[in-house]
Amino acid sequence: MDVMSERELEIGKIIRYLSSKTGGFEDPKLVLIGGYALRHYVPFSRYSRDCDFALKQGIERIKGMKPANMTQEIFERKDSSAFMRWVKITEIGGKKVKTGVDFMEAGITGRENEFFGIDGKFLESAKKVTLHIGTDCEVFVPAYADMFLLKVMSARRSDIRDIAAMVWKNGIPGNIMERAKEATREGIVRSKLENQIIPEISDRLFMHSFRGTFVIESFGEKELRDVIRKLKAVI
């Protein structure tokens, strides 16, 4: 826990540094995604090793903002999108710990070549909120529908737990399939829900995994059944 807390303090420093360099994440506009953005939508949080930002354009400018104590580990372009990762090695509790920051320009590509486009609507609907990441930080987070779709598209086990938490606390985003048609592909969303996400949440071991991740006891069988019912209604 000490290592995770110290890493989060480091991420908080990076977030504040980026905010100072981009006029409060306005120029270019950066939207925090991933596990830290999830904190806006659920009243409990999990630790994340990395901090992820999405932007429509301007990654070359961000590239020039890299602080001296970080290393650019990856920079790559694919078609109209680009990806960059900065890393920092910090000694915490006698151990060397890596902290990473990822930037995704124009779109986010999944492990199976799924693609979520960072369009004007994504930027316009993002809202500025205050999150506690080591300390209080003002950042933009995606609208609920976009946050939900990003989690569905990724669909790792950690994302599936996040989806269950989001649906438990917020329900299904309105007009989710219309937004899916704009940003990704409706068929991918249905397929992920039907073949991967709902079966995982329906597994008898899911409850233990969920409670262990979020350290919470109030998510019981009734809440689990309700989440599954709402997800099934989408497809």
Domain check: are 107 and 168 in the same one? no
Domain check: are 109 and 150 in the same one? no
The residue type found at 235 is I
> For residues 71 and 90, is the Cβ–Cβ distance under 8 A?
no
Per-residue pLDDT reduced to its tens digit, 28-56? 999 999 999 999 999 887 777 789 999 99
Domain check: are 114 and 162 in the same one? no
Tell me the torsion sign for CA atoms 139, 144, 148, 150.
negative
Residues above pLDDT 90, as percent of the chain: 77
Rounded Cα gap, residues 80 and 149, in angstroms: 21
Tell me which residue of 6, 3, 11 sits closest to 133, measured CA to CA.
11
Number of domains in the chain: 2
CATH code of the domain covering residue 85: 3.30.460
The residue type found at 135 is T
- The encoded tokens of residue 103 equal 């930037």
The DSSP bridge partners found for residue 55 are 105
Tell me which residue of 29, 15, 183, 45 sits closest to 114, measured CA to CA.
183
Q: What is the pLDDT of residue 96?
A: 85
The DSSP bridge partners found for residue 101 are 51, 86
Tell me which residue of 148, 151, 147, 163 sits closest to 198, measured CA to CA.
163
Identify the residue whose tokens are 């905010």.
19
Q: Which of 92, 125, 142 is the last residue of a domain?
A: 142
Domain check: are 105 and 195 in the same one? no
Domain check: are 184 and 201 in the same one? yes
Per-residue pLDDT reduced to its tens digit, 174-212? 989 999 999 998 899 999 999 999 999 999 999 999 998
Q: What is the pTM of this model?
A: 0.93
Domain check: are 11 and 120 in the same one? yes
Q: What is the pLDDT of residue 162?
A: 95
Domain check: are 10 and 112 in the same one? yes
- Give the structural domain span for 123: 1-142
Domain check: are 43 and 122 in the same one? yes
Where helices occur in the chain by DSSP H, the ranges are 2-21, 35-38, 59-63, 120-125, 144-154, 157-170, 176-183, 186-192, 198-202, 206-214, 221-234
> For residues 99 and 86, is the Cβ–Cβ distance under 8 A?
no
The DSSP bridge partners found for residue 29 are 26
Q: Which of 142, 158, 181 is the last residue of a domain?
A: 142
Rounded Cα gap, residues 210 and 227, in angstroms: 13
Q: What is the pLDDT of residue 91?
A: 81
Domain check: are 155 and 165 in the same one? yes
Q: What is the pLDDT of residue 1?
A: 57
Arithmetic mean of pLDDT over the chain: 93
Residues of the chain with pLDDT under 50: none
